[in-house]
Each structure stands twice: as C-alpha cells, then as structure tokens.
C-alpha cells in the first residue's frame, strides 16, 4: 500500500522544513501551536493524518525546553489522530551532551529525552551528527543518524583542497570524526588538542598532539556552542606555527556572546550547517552556512519508500 507522505514543522526551524518540502515536491502539513496565558502549549493539526506516513521536523535548539515539549505534544497529537507511522526529525538533538555520568548524582538526560520521544509515540527518529554514537542505543526504536560530511567535504575540498591540510580534533573524543574527515581529504594529516576544563564551557589549558607548522588547520567538531573552545584552539594552533585555522562544525548552537567572540577571533572562517537557524543580524562575512535540508529530504524519501539510506551516512 502506497501511504501518503506528510511533513509537519515545529516552530524551531520552519524555513529548514520548507526547504526540505521543496526538494521533496511536497506541501508542508498545516499545524498550529497555541500558547496559553499560563505558558502551556497546545497543538491543533488541520490535515487528516489517519493512516499517513508522518514526519515532524523540530530541532530542539534554544529555547530547548520549549521546543522539546512542543515536539512531544505534536507527536502525541499525531498518534491520537491515528497516524500510521510518526518519524521525529531532529536535525539538532538537544541534551545530547548529557550522555553519561561524569560524577555522582547527575542525570543522563539524553537517555531521558529518548524515552520521552518513544513514550509520546514516535516510531522512529531521524537526526544528524549526534554528539556521541551511544545515543543511538538509548532508543528502543529505529534511529537514523545522518552525517553532515557529504555537504561539508565538497566545500572544504573546493576552497582549501590545494592547501597543506591538517584536520584537528578539538578533543580526544572527536578523533574518529577527524579521522573520517581526513581520510576523505586525500589522507590529510591529523592533530589532536588535549584540553583540560576548569568548568562547564571553560577551558583552562590546551596542548597540541601533532605537528601543525605551516599547515592550514581545519578544526572538525559536531557543534560550536559558546565559541570559547574554538577561539582558544585557533590561538593555540597559530602559536604552534599553523598558517591558518578554519572551524568546521555541523550544529551552530552559538549561545551567549559566541558571535562576538568569533568575530574577534583569529579564525579565518567558520563553516556550519542550517540544522539550527541563525538570525540574519548574527551573520557575518567569515561565517558560511551550508544547507543539509536536501540531505534530510532524501533520507525522508528513502524512509517513506522503504529504501536503504546507508549510503547517506558515508
């Protein structure tokens, strides 16, 4: 049976969803989110979803709690309206950094969010560049974790492919990501930054493992938040003899005064994707935003038609 495809958008990134729908040649479903005077949210779905294959798109970026609760309510509404299958599409999965217990009496919130999505009624999840691979295992439903490399790599190759490149991991945990990136750039060299944190979003000390002299260094990470680590890493690499430093991150969280910090930094360019919307007022010449909406659109098309999407991971 060829079930009808419907794509709905939460309020976090409707422009991203519209771009996906344009690629899919599909109309965006009609959904209204109502906020009551006490702050509670409610959802009204205007389209018939009974027996439909439904995709609800919502990045749980700031304000993360509001966007997460909105997504859960939307999923519950779709389930109660008898949707055949509900796929939660989270281009950016919030709370992903709380994926383990680093000390006593702290939560594993990424697992909690996984449980909430499943309990609300999601049948599967589609996301991109989860902070840690084990988050996929937090779910008891299918999870497709896309990779932004098919979008980031061609840009890097076109603009910096003629340079002597070194791919830099900003921490030990990101070495595998850096290795994959370097392998696809003609086996570029790899360096690792060993950083010691003095507190959340605070880096006290950085040391470089590897030779970066006279190299164009590309720092590869899954996200950039306050920008403190990236700015300090750029200074450390340049002090070690690097010719230039470019940051390449999937998710532009950019909280606090991150934009001002990056503007005043020695980064030659910051390359990000549109998994999280960036206000026009925050754009500046050294910030490049690449769209991964076509990649998500193709993943949705393949999920809907029961085709393999494994090639999109490479």
DSSP SS3 for 190: strand
Query: Which are the catalytic amino acids?
Result: 195
* Alpha-carbon distance values, 74 to 47, 57, 172, 268 (Å): 13, 10, 38, 41
Sort 210 into a burial class: Cβ within 10 Å, 0-12 / 13-18 / 19+: middle
CA distance 309 to 300: 9
Residue 39: how many other CB atoms lie within 10 Å: 7
Task: Give the up-direction half-sphere exposure of residue 265: CA atoms within 13 A in the CB hemisphere.
Answer: 31
* Alpha-carbon distance values, 217 to 191, 233, 237, 240, 247 (Å): 9, 10, 8, 11, 8
CA distance 207 to 196: 9
Most confident of 26-30, 75-79, 178-182: 75-79
Strand pairing class (165-169; 216-224): parallel
- Helix H or strand E encompassing 182: helix 175-183
Query: pLDDT tens across 201-254, in order?
Result: 566 678 899 999 999 999 999 999 999 989 999 999 999 999 999 999 999 999
Nearest to 203 by CA among 237, 167, 170: 170
Contacts of 137 (CB under 8 A, 6+ apart): none
CA distance 46 to 42: 13
Mean pLDDT of 157-171: 93
Q: Are 13 and 276 in contact (CB under 8 A)?
A: yes
CA angle 5, 10, 14 (to 5 degrees): 85
**Hey, what domains does the chain have and what are their CATH numbers?**
5-146+293-313 (3.40.50.2020), 149-290 (3.40.50.2020)
Query: pLDDT tens across 105-163, in order?
Result: 999 999 999 999 999 999 999 999 999 889 999 999 999 999 999 999 999 999 998 88
What tokens appear for 176 in the block? 């595998």
Contacts of 45 (CB under 8 A, 6+ apart): 8, 29, 30, 31, 77, 78, 81
What is residue 162's predicted lDDT score, i.e. its pLDDT?
A: 85
Nearest to 128 by CA among 10, 249, 308, 230: 249
What is residue 280's predicted lDDT score, i.e. its pLDDT?
A: 93
What is residue 271's predicted lDDT score, i.e. its pLDDT?
A: 98
Query: pLDDT tens across 42-59, in order?
Result: 999 999 999 999 999 999
Q: Is the pLDDT of residue 81 over 60?
A: yes
DSSP class per residue in 54-122: EEEE----SSHHHHHHHHHHHHHHHHHTTBSEEEEEESS-TTTT--S-SSTT---HHHHHHHHHHHHT-
What percent of the chain has pLDDT above 90? 88
Task: Give the up-direction half-sphere exposure of residue 38: CA atoms within 13 A in the CB hemisphere.
Answer: 2
Mean residue pLDDT of the chain comes to 94
């Amino acid at each position: 049976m060829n079930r009808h495809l419907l794509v709905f958008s939460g309020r976090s990134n409707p422009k991203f969803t519209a771009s996906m729908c344009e690629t899919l040649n599909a109309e965006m479903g009609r959904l209204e989110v109502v906020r009551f005077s006490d702050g509670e949210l409610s959802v009204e779905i205007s389209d018939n979803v009974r027996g439909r294959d439904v995709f609800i798109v919502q990045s749980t970026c700031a304000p993360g709690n509001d966007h997460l609760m909105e997504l859960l309510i939307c999923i519950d509404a779709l389930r109660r309206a008898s949707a055949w299958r509900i796929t939660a599409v989270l281009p950016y999965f919030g709370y992903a950094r709380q994926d383990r217990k680093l000390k006593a009496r702290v939560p594993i919130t990424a697992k909690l969010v996984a449980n909430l999505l499943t309990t609300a009624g999601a049948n599967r999840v589609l996301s991109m560049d989860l902070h840690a691979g084990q988050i996929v295992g937090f779910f008891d439903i299918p999870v497709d974790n896309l990779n932004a490399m098919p979008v980031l790599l061609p840009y890097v190759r076109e603009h910096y492919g003629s340079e002597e490149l070194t791919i830099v991991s900003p921490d030990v945990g990101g070495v595998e990501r850096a290795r994959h990136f370097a392998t696809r750039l003609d086996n570029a060299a790899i360096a690792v930054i060993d950083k010691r944190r003095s507190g959340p979003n605070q880096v006290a000390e950085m040391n470089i493992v590897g030779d970066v002299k006279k190299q164009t260094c590309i720092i590869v990470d899954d996200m950039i938040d306050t920008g403190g680590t990236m700015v300090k890493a750029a200074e450390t690499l340049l002090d070690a003899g690097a010719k230039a430093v470019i940051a390449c991150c999937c998710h532009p969280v950019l909280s606090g005064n991150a934009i001002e910090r990056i503007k005043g930094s020695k980064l030659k360019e910051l390359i990000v994707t549109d998994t999280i919307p960036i206000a026009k007022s925050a754009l500046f010449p050294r910030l490049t935003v690449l769209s991964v909406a076509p990649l998500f659109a193709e993943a949705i098309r393949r999920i809907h038609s029961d085709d393999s999407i494994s090639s999109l991971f490479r």
